[in-house]
């Protein structure tokens, strides 16, 4: 019987040992590795460095240090180009909570990053200043592509003016006492 009791006690002891090995005890409480890693990841929304927004709408820096209408892709490109400092992830599924136009896909998205070089950046504000200073140097900012919508809207506007001119020149007017 004593042998069976040991068998019953052993699985519990094994589970307790596994839990203790997986989660270190710090200051009398257990800490999982996943929570420590998730605390290292920080989030940047484009609104944090948008010079067109107010502080109430989400801007985190002074207007002189911000950029006009940054995109989450631009922030990602800057941070990914400096991969010696950051580990970066881009996500388009969410939008900033203070964003008024929640259906606009240009303002959607956020960047999760983790610092690899803690000596260069002391806090998140320094990271935001670094990113905002490099966005104007991107090729997409220096040589913007002409929007397809702008070209198509100008073409439709010219078609509307041509149609309006044809209607005015067709002579018409009110028909009087016309029977079928």
Task: For residues 82 and 133, give the distance between their C-alpha atoms in angstroms, rounded to a whole number.
Answer: 13
CATH of region 39-142, choose from 3.20.190.10, 3.40.1360.10, 3.30.56.30, 3.10.129.10: 3.30.56.30
- Amino acid 135: pLDDT: 92
DSSP-assigned letters across all residues of 39-70: HH-EEE-GGGGBTTS-TTTT--S-GGG-BSS-
- Amino acid 97: pLDDT: 74
Determine the average pLDDT of the residues in 121-145: 89
**pLDDT over 70 (residue 3):** no
Q: Classify burial at 50, counting beta carbons within 10 Å of its beta carbon; exposed 0-12, middle 13-18, buried 19 or more.
A: buried
**pLDDT over 60 (residue 44):** yes
Task: For residues 106 and 45, give the distance between their C-alpha atoms in angstroms, rounded to a whole number.
Answer: 12
pTM over 0.75: no
**pLDDT over 70 (residue 90):** yes
Per-residue burial over 92-121, b if 16 or more Cβ lie within 10 Å, else e, is eeebbeebeeeeeeebbbbbebebeeeeeb
Q: Where are the domains of the chain?
A: 39-142
> Considering the chain, what is the average pLDDT of its residues?
73
Closest CA to 65 of 134, 124, 135, 133: 133
- Amino acid 117: pLDDT: 73
Do residues 115 and 142 make contact, with C-beta atoms less than 8 angstroms apart?
Answer: no
């Amino acid at each position: 019987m004593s042998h069976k009791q040991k068998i019953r006690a052993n699985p519990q002891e094994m589970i307790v040992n596994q839990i203790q090995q997986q989660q270190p005890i710090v200051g009398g409480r257990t800490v999982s590795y996943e929570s420590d890693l998730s605390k290292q990841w920080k989030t940047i929304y484009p609104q944090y460095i948008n010079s067109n927004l107010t502080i109430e709408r989400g801007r985190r820096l002074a207007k002189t240090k911000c950029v006009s209408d940054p995109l989450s892709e631009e922030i990602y490109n800057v941070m990914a180009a400096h991969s010696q400092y950051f580990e970066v992830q881009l996500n388009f599924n969410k939008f900033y909570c203070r964003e008024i136009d929640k259906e606009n896909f240009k303002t959607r998205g956020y960047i999760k990053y983790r610092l690899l070089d803690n000596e260069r950046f002391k806090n998140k504000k320094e990271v935001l200043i670094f990113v905002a200073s490099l966005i104007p140097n991107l090729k997409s900012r220096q040589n913007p592509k002409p929007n397809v919508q702008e070209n198509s809207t100008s073409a439709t506007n010219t078609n509307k003016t041509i149609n309006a001119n044809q209607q005015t020149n067709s002579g018409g007017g009110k028909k009087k006492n016309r029977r079928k």
